[in-house]
Amino acid sequence: MTFAPPEAARAKGRRALGLAAAALLVACGAVGAWLAAGGDELATLRGHRGVVRAVAASPDGAAIASAGDDGTVRVWDATTNRQRHALSGHAGKVRAVAFGPPPLLLSAGDDAVVRVWDWQAGVAVRTLDGPKKPLECVAVAPDGEFVAAAGGDGLVHLWTTRDGKPLPPIRGHAKHVHGLAFVPGGRSLASAGEDGGVRVWEVPGGKAAAALPVGRHHVHGLSVSPDGKVLAVALTGAGVRRWEVSSRRELPAWDGAGMARAVAFSGDGRLLATADEDKTVKLWRADDGRRLATFSGHRGAVLGVAFAPDGKTVVTAAGDGTVKRWAVPAE
């Protein structure tokens, strides 16, 4: 069974994915929701039983997807905040979600498979298998052509989106991979994990394009700016670090980034959001690192963060089992 959408929908999806690619946290562990202006907490979405580990925003801004330890993927209406679907099928914790070309939604977790859903209809489409250990990340290329997933085996697994055909996995990491993000505007994929390195690969083919050392720190998540020029990573014990992708030059560090667990660029690249173990989300100006706001309200570590495609709201997920929506304040 293939899961190729109609050509018109695929073209529309490619355009929308291009706008939302930087806002997508393939985070391998993030949760979020849309926000209006002001900086206030707008809504709390409840439904998961246990930790919520991942979140994604649909490219058209109509829906939010979240995933967690209860083994479900939940789809929320981004306007009403009501749950549209609770998708069951994973055997174990679900750690990552990502929207693909409409109407596709992908999820990955401890059962070592990527599940493909029709999020509009709320039904399963197919399963992508091949990995032998739990998966922690899933990402879709900006043009919708490829799906990538990674986790405990240190490999970056690839499939074609059109027919689910597996491609040769990318080898290079020595330990768990915790973060994946496609580079907008090209066929490149960034990956990072426990082995102290961030790598950029050509896709397909898996040729190494760049290696960015981060020392002994574990990378929990990464995000690439919409113009593809800057890569930001969330590190254990080292907050957030950033590099220019082309020159591999590390950019100045920011004070106060804390124990970041996830990071996300806004769709226009002006803002960067970080999710923190101190139960807060911090909002920064991407050009100079000035902190614009700190969102407080979660009762557990914030494990993921994502921007709405219009950049006016931020969505977060945390260990307290909730998804929260926050308004992005005016600068």
State in Å, rounded, how far the first CA of the chain is from the last one: 48
Q: Please report the pLDDT score of residue 172 as a whole number.
A: 86
The helix or strand, by DSSP H or E, that contains position 273, with its residue range, turns out to be: strand 271-276
pLDDT tens digit sequence for 232-261: 998 876 678 899 988 889 898 777 767 888
User: Strand 52-57's sheet: what is its strand order?
Assistant: 52-57, 63-68, 72-77, 83-88
Residue 52: phi and psi, rounded to 5, are -100, 125
pLDDT tens digit sequence for 18-70: 444 433 333 454 333 333 333 589 999 999 999 999 899 999 999 999 999 99
| 210: Cβ contacts below 8 Å, ≥ 6 apart | 199, 200, 245, 248
Q: Please report the pLDDT score of residue 174 as a whole number.
A: 82
Q: Please report the pLDDT score of residue 30 as a whole number.
A: 36
Per-residue pLDDT of the chain (331 residues; tens, 9 = 90+): 444 444 444 444 444 444 444 333 334 543 333 333 335 899 999 999 999 998 999 999 999 999 999 999 999 999 999 999 999 999 999 999 999 989 999 999 999 999 999 999 999 999 999 999 999 999 999 889 999 999 999 999 999 998 899 999 999 888 889 899 999 876 899 998 787 778 999 998 888 888 887 777 778 889 999 999 999 998 876 678 899 988 889 898 777 767 888 999 999 999 999 999 999 999 999 998 899 999 999 999 999 899 999 999 999 999 999 999 999 998 7
Q: Please report the pLDDT score of residue 8 as a whole number.
A: 45
Distance CA 214, CA 291 (A): 23
Distance CA 48, CA 70 (A): 7
